[in-house]
Amino acid sequence: MNPLGKRITVAVLCMSACAAPLFLGGCGLSNVTKQISQGSQKAQQNDVELFNQYIKAIGDFNSRSLTFSYANAPVVEDLKNGKHLTSFSSPDFKRLEEALQEAKSAGVPYDDMNEPLDKVLAVLHDIVPVADELDSYFDAKTYTTDNYAKEQQLGAKYVQLYEQFYAVYPALDDVIHKHNTEHLKEMKDAGQKNGAAVQEVHLRLTDIIDGLESNKPIDANAINQELQAISDLANTVNKSEYDSTKRSLHQTIGAIRTFMSNRDDKNYENMISEYNDFISDMNNLDIPKLDK
């Protein structure tokens, strides 16, 4: 697999994991509602609403990045190899910066989000004007009049900032994963059997994807056993509301098995695409309703 392409899809993957909603929220925890003050519930709900602003910003960016990776990846590869461009394409860093800044202005729900968020915003602050200038430069075909002088001036800088961005961007996923894992225990303690099962399925599947991303040797037997356990757990949720997500889950499991049998680019991209479809279905799932 192309290392650059992998870096792009890893970032998409990591942050697509973030796209799973943070299933906190007072009304869903019916068994413990009476033990929590209304003020505490309201504060928790506010945190969730704030958190979801970041999820939307990240999810939108990841979706567009995956869709246009066929155009974005060769640009960086060509610039790194000293090959002249005739057009320029990049991830929509500007829209991500604007969305994250807007979310940050509303608040940061968890203290441990501050550092990775600030690092991402710092790189975005630097890369957005460079990407904009290169975009205008190639749209106007100015390279035909200056013998690629602007490309030589900004190309290496763009590549450097691009790689810096994808070095810090996945760290946000660690924060998301941490809070989702913490909430899984809360759901189990509250007796939300179906909701907890759905969330556990998501987290365990994400762990498998992360393991495949590590480039370590694959223990196919162990992974297949875990995939079967995940499938069995999902099948304990007999709610029609979960049917679409369950289908996406099983399609992702199939794509993982295909990738393990033949680790080429096509199977890799298909695995990531199926995983992101699963996450999209998770986003549309009304978790509290599964335990009613």
At residue 15, the pLDDT reads 35
More confident residue, 148 or 21: 148
Checking if the pLDDT of 38 tops 50, the result is no
Q: How many residues does the chain have?
A: 292
At residue 244, the pLDDT reads 95
Q: Which of 5-9, 202-206, 213-217, 227-231 has the highest mean pLDDT?
A: 227-231
The residue to which tokens 């992702």 are assigned: 252
Q: Which residues of 214-230 are buried (b: 16+ CB within 10 A; e: fewer)?
A: eeeeeeeeebeebbeeb
Over residues 149-196, the pLDDT tens digits come to 999 999 999 999 999 999 999 888 778 778 777 778 888 888 999 999
Over residues 80-127, the pLDDT tens digits come to 999 999 999 999 999 999 999 999 999 998 899 999 999 999 999 999
Checking if the pLDDT of 72 tops 60, the result is yes
More confident residue, 67 or 236: 236
At residue 30, the pLDDT reads 26
At residue 44, the pLDDT reads 60
Instruction: Give CA separation, 252 vs 16, 17, 102, 264, in Å.
Output: 14, 13, 33, 16
The C-alpha atoms of residue 292 and residue 290 are separated, in whole angstroms, by 6
Count of CB atoms within 10 A of residue 201's CB? 25
Which of the four pLDDT bands, split at 50, 70 and 90, describes residue 239?
A: very high
| Residue from 196, 180, 207, 188 nearest 275 by CA | 207
The C-alpha atoms of residue 103 and residue 54 are separated, in whole angstroms, by 6
The C-alpha atoms of residue 115 and residue 178 are separated, in whole angstroms, by 15
Checking if the pLDDT of 69 tops 90, the result is no
> What mean pLDDT comes out for the span 215-222?
86
Single pTM value for the model: 0.70
At residue 34, the pLDDT reads 29
More confident residue, 41 or 135: 135
277 contacts 251 by C-beta, under 8 angstroms: yes
Output the average pLDDT for the chain: 82
Would you state the structure tokens that stand for residue 140, as one six-digit string?
């106007």
